[in-house]
Chains A and B, each alone.
Chain A
């Protein structure tokens, strides 16, 4: 107890001066302590597994959402982006780890990957996991999921929308493979997270559309719409028909008028032409034929040699020549004769066609009457349809708001479908080619400080225990404590 009381000090609790004295006295303890410190440091530092880490800088891009007015199909920019807390929470879910594990399992080098935790110094290779779980896939997934927990962490970057992903593993190949896998897993996760909202919104829009359609069904809205559309089509067709009938009737009227005029004129013309003019033309034709015959005969006779011609022949030639001259004088000039022939042919033709003209005129007249009847019928039908359309339109106008709503919902549905189909991640992995850094969990300095602290504590305890148990006399203090009321005379003389 005396020794214990000497160790304590009123002001400093422990008498550090005495401790210093003791440390000088028990130097062997200091040497042992130094050796212990070195041993502790070596064991603590070098027994740690080497950890490999890859840092991947991430940039969060602004969100894209559909317009709020429910009409535009073009996505609009939303400046807000995912923050660190939100990202951490979304990457700490079981579904994410499951997806991460599934991707890891699909890796071709899965068997060689070491999924051992960086805290426990134990290796856990992919093939070991497979071996331990056998064919039980659930077991494999669960064990792999547990092993992957803590294999990465995310920190805030230099700016609000920048983060730093750090992937850790106790093997170099594993950390590089896991980095590639986790980037893929985060990408998928972000797309799913972002799609989730869109899908939910789409579901609610679909429900609203179903409700609206059901309401419309109850109100015969669709029937009214269909009728309206049908009426519109019918009216359009009828309008076209009326136009056609009007056009056809006017055309036919003109035709009938023309035919009537032609028929009248034909009758008048054929009556005025005399029979004499017709006989004169026949005489001319006969004279022409006789003249042609004479010319042929003269040519035949003149082709015979002069010496061989008989007198009768010469006489015949003379008679023929005389007749030719007489006929040539009778016959009118060639153009006049041709016009006469043409006029005669025309008159003959008109006379032959007179029946046709009559028939055509009657047909046209009947056709015109038919067209006029059709036009009237169509016009009446048109008036009826217009009346019906007016009635239907009033009904449709009553459902205009509901229809507008349904239309907007359908537009929104399309927009959401488009957005869902084209959804991308909101994170950009800026550089995933960085090399794996090698380090130990506890740094060199930290281990030194830890070793020194432990050593100092143990050293102090050891010298205090030694002091408490040490009975040897080192100076006046010990003498006084052992031999109370005894004078300390001095030191024994020493000779050179």
Chain B
């Protein structure tokens, strides 16, 4: 084998003189080497891998810096954040309130929007069909609730969440609340009491007290413990009573008219029977209207007080995050969005890229295979 190789090496063919001259002529036409622009002269020539090694970290750095800049721009100052949050809460509460409702929350009153009635106006001169409510949350001292208007029929509902220290206090408070309702001339609608051990327990009471004494009831119930939340809702039902009253008067008048016609002489039997049926219908309708009016008045004469007594501590809302934390948080959000977009683009483009790579790889393999076949057959 080595002899064969040596013979092949010794007999290595050399290019003929004519070819050598032809190539020398070609080489004489050698083009000037390409000159790089002056601003690229001092830079090393980068290959694709090196470019990728630089570009990928650079893109990541740009993404992180962009996210930080975005976080810095959107974090804002602490005061502005508080104001924005307060405005957002007020907006949310107002939007959630039904028409004709004024909401109050927290330890200080929040002024109602200009197009809503103020509390005072609502209490003194509540308009027909208006529903008024006030809500307080957080530990606070007992305060007098909104007073009902005794000259109008109103549906008054109050709810309170009160914290007690332990189960013993919870049990005693529940009993005191029930006694208080009865002492004020009211009654207990429902009561539910439950406890776990000596530290955890809850009680739910619904009592009805005369509307004239509801303020007293609320103030005394508030003294059972620490108020966590308080809500008062007043719905004016005077219009309903007035409508029913007018209907009763009209029906009574109609019945009297029919009675007069029935007493008139010369009435045919058929006409008499028709009038009697009509009178029966009117009497039934008047009876229903009277019952409905009485029920409405009864409902308005008592206020419903829902009481939730609990031993669980009030959870203070988390303090607003510092500016640094907000920046980090916002930057994290922006980074997450960038990552999501990148993943989305990759998810969409990846199948096409893989297909393209497979096509290129297949075409290259096929070309090499064809070349090999061609050389083997030559």
A and B held together in a complex: no
